[in-house]
Amino acid sequence: MFDRPDTAAVRSYLRNLQKRLIQSFLTLDPTAQLIADDWSRPQGGDGCTRVIQGEILEQCGINFSHVQGERLPPSASAQRPELAGRGFEAMGVSLVAHPLNPYVPSSHLNVRFFIAAGEEGEPIWWFGGGFDLTPYYGYEEDVIHWHRTARALCEPFGTDLYPRFKAWCDEYFYIRHRQEPRGVGGIFFDDFAEGGFDHTFAFVRSVGDGYLSAYLPIVERRKDQTYGERERAFQRLRRGRYVEFNLVQDRGTLFGLQSGGRAQSILVSLPPEVSWRYDDRPEPGTLEAELYERFLIVRDWLGE
């Protein structure tokens, strides 16, 4: 008998997760403006785009989408070529937070579910997602807290998951044309259906529910640090790397665009202010140089 997923339960959880994430960030920054944009898709599906803009979060996009289509886009079938051209259903919540203060890292959370039509009526389904951290100024205590929380969320489902998904995150969020990581990693997984639907869905809920316990303590610790134009200029340069990764490599962005998604919702992941400068290199001995030397490298943060 097929292990049939409960798509209604997944949708209900994702909608609730989006609401809880929004409320938590509005509590963090009560002066923030919330932009709400509900939409429907002519090809099938609907979604809710929410954008928070305030004194702490310069821009934070928190999206829910649930779409259907007749042909799975290449970005989604790259790992499963046998499904190319099949009908599909996809839903997920994606969050990208770009704080105003350069000492507060940007962060990303995504949890998503795919189901495609298999042979003889058998549904083929999987989950994907994870979260990663992109600091502009590095603090080891922040990164260790981030990874320690990620490990704690994974361990009830198998002690092998954190090292596997940490390594996958380091590999995935690597800007190949720059030959540098996007940030300090976290966890990332895709095509994940181990242990059956109930087990896998419980793991995905652990990741989604635990994200705030990983990120908010870092925000609280850094949000009141004093900064000036030097720090903002470096933040804008580093945000340029974020843009490059999202537009050139990120499978989620490519899936959204290839499946005919709403560009304004998909591209809300991009920071509001960004810059590029030819051959930008930080001065030796500065905090900016330290980011490259000590943080933008693959490290076993919990084993050192």
98 is in an annotated binding site: yes
What percent helix, strand, coil does the chain show, rounded to 5? 45, 25, 30
3-class state of residue 196 by DSSP: coil
> Is 71 assigned a ligand-binding role in the annotation?
no
Distance, CA of 34 to CA of 46 (rounded, Å): 20
- Is 145 known as a binding-site position? no
Q: Which residues are catalytic?
A: 108
CA dist 263 and 194 (Å) reads 33
Rounded to the nearest 5°, which phi and psi values hold at 56?
Answer: -100, -50
Tokens 């140089």 belong to residue = 289
Alpha helices in the chain (DSSP H): 7-28, 74-77, 140-154, 161-172, 197-222, 229-248, 251-258, 263-266, 287-290
CA dihedral sign, ordered 287, 274, 34, 95: negative
Q: Is 66 annotated as a binding-site member?
A: no
Q: Is 199 marked as a binding-site residue? A: no
Q: Is 147 annotated as a binding residue?
A: yes
**Is 261 marked as binding a ligand?**
yes
CA-based radius of gyration for the chain: 19
Q: Is the separation of the CB atoms in 181 and 298 below 8 Å?
A: yes
Query: Residue 112, annotated ligand binder?
Result: yes
Instruction: Judge whether 110 is annotated as a binding position.
Output: yes
Annotated binding site for a divalent metal cation: 98, 108, 147, 177
Annotated binding site for substrate: 94, 110-112, 260-262
Annotated binding site: 94, 98, 108, 110-112, 147, 177, 260-262
